[in-house]
């Protein structure tokens, strides 16, 4: 999937969430959820992978979400998360899953994907010179 096709996919995905909740205003944007079947089917249609994340990765990403200036304030909904990945794109999209709903999608750049792998493997990297 080229970067252009990924941008179109992301736009379609945003439309799916907007159509699911047309009456929500910006203050309610954290509540954006869609039936999980929709995003999952879109990922499959674009030859992507729907990857269940570990509990540790989910907790880590909740913190990233809460501190991300591009996401609504607070913690995302749900009790676990999945990652949508496409082999020829270095980034991905995380969905926080609440029962049968995919909520609050968050873009995941390559740098964050690397940290997620470290969390999964329980790898601790100390970089820098310290105090």
Instruction: State both tokens at 127.
Output: 């970089």
Which residue, 49, 70, 51, is CA-closest to 1? Answer: 49
Q: Say if CB 27 and CB 20 are below 8 A apart.
A: no
The whole-model pTM stands at 0.76
Mean pLDDT of the chain: 80
Q: Say if CB 92 and CB 108 are below 8 A apart.
A: yes
**Sign of the CA dihedral running 88, 94, 97, 100:** negative
What pLDDT, on a 0 to 100 scale, did the predictor assign at position 4? 47
Q: What is the pLDDT of residues 9-25, one digit of tens each?
A: 555 555 444 444 444 44
**Sign of the CA dihedral running 86, 74, 122, 102:** negative
pLDDT-derived band at 131 (thresholds 50, 70, 90) equals low
Kindly state the average pLDDT of the residues 75-100. Answer: 92
What pLDDT, on a 0 to 100 scale, did the predictor assign at position 26? 42
Q: How large a percentage of the chain has pLDDT more than 90?
A: 55
């Amino acid at each position: 999937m080229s970067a252009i096709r990924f941008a179109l996919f992301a736009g379609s995905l945003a439309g799916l969430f907007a159509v699911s909740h047309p009456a929500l205003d910006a203050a309610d944007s954290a509540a954006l959820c869609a039936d999980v079947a929709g995003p999952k089917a879109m990922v499959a249609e674009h030859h992507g992978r729907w990857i269940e994340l570990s509990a540790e990765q989910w907790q880590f990403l909740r913190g990233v979400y809460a501190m991300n200036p591009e996401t609504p304030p607070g913690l995302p909904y749900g009790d676990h998360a999945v990652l949508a990945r496409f082999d020829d794109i270095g980034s991905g999209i995380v969905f926080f899953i609440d029962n049968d709903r995919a909520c609050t999608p968050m873009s995941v750049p390559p740098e964050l994907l690397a940290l997620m792998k470290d969390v999964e493997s329980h790898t601790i990297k100390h970089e820098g010179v310290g105090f």
